[in-house]
Structure 1
């Protein structure tokens, strides 16, 4: 089928009285719900920027916002699969606290006597141990849910209490610090960022990847005889994507190291300090890079693998999925194992950023993770959800929290507002499902 024929067929569906905006939306096939969420995020940013006296939309605050969002964004990608299967995980915050404490104790107490302080592999071993523990915890909870038939709400509510108590029990309530120097890079900061040059390199590579994805998607549509989007629509989407990627890179590079840190770096590396001081941009933070990589991998898992198709099949109709030969119990167990591993990865980011593991770490994170997934379009009825939407939802939640901190709003009122937002998000989800049913 030629591009012209397919494009004509796609345009033929539009009625003669259809408005310009409707025709544009139809031609570009933009997800209206995702577009609405991005619009809401922009409105939130503009409101906080105005109320904070022009502080919110600055390179410094946006850079910090991206780093603060990373941990929740990583965990929200796993929560999408949990909710898609019509379950819930209330224990992710406690798993984060427990695995964060495990990683801290491993690199502070157990590895130094064997490998020495700041050993080259201390951070990697600690990370591997923490992720393994997270996967094991998720597997245990998943097996109880899948094979023993205990509701996920009860199992994970118990896990919330058990693993929070376990984090305290590991060190009798003590804070464990400091972390390995290499491990701390996962938390961001001056050294935990890629710098201006590598940020631009990655941005250009991302733009190239977007362009290639559009080309392959068009070829795939043509091969299977699907209607093609107009060339102008794909060009518009590509240009918007390029602008977003390059704009984000410019903002991240606009945030500069403090002069004292830049001068110390220059002296340590024999770099001459010019008049007026050395200007070094932070660029993309490593925790944000980790979150982006996790988002890409999880998107591939959900869209391009048999496991991902099984997860959505179970969420759509569990009985039909089982009759179709899917081992629903084992798939459900693996979903919780994946969630446990992602919670441990979130713990690594959080612990590295704080340079310490505390007993309060991850408290109420389960609320933010669930809210991020729901705000991102994951239906509590199961069967519907996207990884990208959940990550944007995490950014919405963190934007609300960051904005309220800038405005000096008390913590109890912050919790009230977050709770209200979660209820509204669930109501909107139900209204949207009823409208599109």
Structure 2
């Protein structure tokens, strides 16, 4: 019997072995790669305009409203429901916020915009709860309830002002929408970026210690460092790009826009809600098997109501961002946003069959959708053709999701 030498026994690491060691979410990685391809292609066909700091800064702001609502749509779809009313409810809520500032409390300073935010949140949360009540306790399908809401809320928004545009809004409120004064500047952007990097490092160290403490498998150190680098580099690059866009009037770096900060905060909160709370676990349990969830003691009806309350509150946040960015209450605000929000969640990996979805994936899906739209605008593509492309992308994303789950990909 011939002894095997150490050199012969040692095998070279394969690509599959490297991927296994890194333990990355391949679907999320593929989505990031697809977004990168979209950016590069649009930059090439637009003559280098797409990947300029100005366009990327505007892209981040334009994505904020839909991304915020998409985090809530994840819970709705995961629980096997749908909400077609979010765009119309955004329009109604934004109009209420504008009316409070411009007509009910004009000249009241900060009181007016604070009252507008509180009033809008109460309205949207109550409407969401009412929709959830009809779905959970009266057995009306979510499709019908929210389709009716789409018609009702859009009509109420027009009725409030007879179709008129409502302005001006409080300058402090307009900061929420971004604009020349709606960012935090270079210094605080770097402070936030460095804090985020330190948080990522601390989380990685803590997670590794915990896995070792409980005897779980851990990545090799090189793989741990590589995964951390994949997370840290985009954070640093993001801050650099946001600071590279200079104010047209003063030449001072703009920094991270306020609406993007809101999206980051919402994403973190909703991720904790979805993955670390009893409510979030119940939502995924209901989506996985509603009958089993009810038999296990979960109050499915109450959880359903709260899902739509959360969706309504996030619509209020999106309404504040959209209305502040437009600096007026418009009847057209939020038109077709329900389709963009649903598409963002689905493209981000949320399964229409329920039980599967991620908050970060929905935000990435919203960025992908807005990137497509922004690129087509730069190319001068007519609005109807933009809708054709977005619709085709949505169909492809659903087909991709179903094929992946059936094991065909």
TM interval, shorter chain, is: over 0.9
* 1:253/1:283 contact within 8 Å kept: yes
1:133 aligns with 2:123: yes
Match of 2:54 among 54, 60, 85: 60
Root mean square deviation of aligned Cα? 1.3
Q: Distance in 1 between matches of 2:306 and 2:379?
A: 42
**Distance verdict in 2 for CA 1:169–1:19, change over 3 Å:** farther
Match of 2:217 among 227, 239, 242: 227
1:73 aligns with 2:67: yes
Q: Distance in 2 between matches of 1:27 and 1:142?
A: 43
1:313 aligns with 2:303: no
Q: 1:5 aligns to what? A: none
Q: 2:89 aligns to what? A: 95
Deviation at 1:414, TM superposition (A): 0.4
1:300 aligns with 2:272: yes
The count of aligned residue pairs is 400
Unaligned runs of 5+ in 1: 1-15, 263-278
Q: 2:5 aligns to what? A: none
Moved over 3 A (4+): 16-19
Deviation at 1:23, TM superposition (A): 1.5
Deviation at 1:19, TM superposition (A): 6.2
Q: Distance in 1 between matches of 2:331 and 2:381?
A: 24
* 1:118/1:180 contact within 8 Å kept: no
Per-residue CA deviations over 1:412-437 (Å, capped at 9, x if unaligned) read 00011111111110000100110189
Per-residue CA deviations over 1:91-128 (Å, capped at 9, x if unaligned) read 0000100000010001111112xxxx151222111101
Q: 1:270 aligns to what? A: none
Q: 2:367 aligns to what? A: 395
TM-score calculated relative to the size of structure 1: 0.90
Q: 2:386 aligns to what? A: 414
**Distance verdict in 2 for CA 1:220–1:111, change over 3 Å:** same
**Distance verdict in 2 for CA 1:30–1:173, change over 3 Å:** same
Partner of 1:435, secondary structure, is coil
* 1:211/1:238 contact within 8 Å kept: yes
Q: Distance in 2 between matches of 1:401 and 1:118?
A: 38
Per-residue CA deviations over 1:52-105 (Å, capped at 9, x if unaligned) read 111000000000000000001000000000000001000000010000001000
Per-residue CA deviations over 1:31-50 (Å, capped at 9, x if unaligned) read 00000000100010011101
Partner of 2:265, secondary structure, is helix
Q: 1:363 aligns to what? A: 335
Deviation at 1:224, TM superposition (A): 2.9
Q: 2:345 aligns to what? A: 373
TM-score calculated relative to the size of structure 2: 0.96
1:208 aligns with 2:208: no
Q: Distance in 1 between matches of 2:302 and 2:318?
A: 24
Unaligned runs of 5+ in 2: 1-9
Q: 1:6 aligns to what? A: none
Deviation at 1:131, TM superposition (A): 0.9
Q: Distance in 2 between matches of 1:213 and 1:158?
A: 45
Match of 1:286 among 226, 242, 258: 258
Q: Distance in 1 between matches of 2:212 and 2:118?
A: 44
**Distance verdict in 2 for CA 1:101–1:223, change over 3 Å:** same
Counterpart mapping for 1:157-172 below 5 A: 157-172=147-162
Per-residue CA deviations over 1:125-170 (Å, capped at 9, x if unaligned) read 1101101101001000011001111110111111110101011011
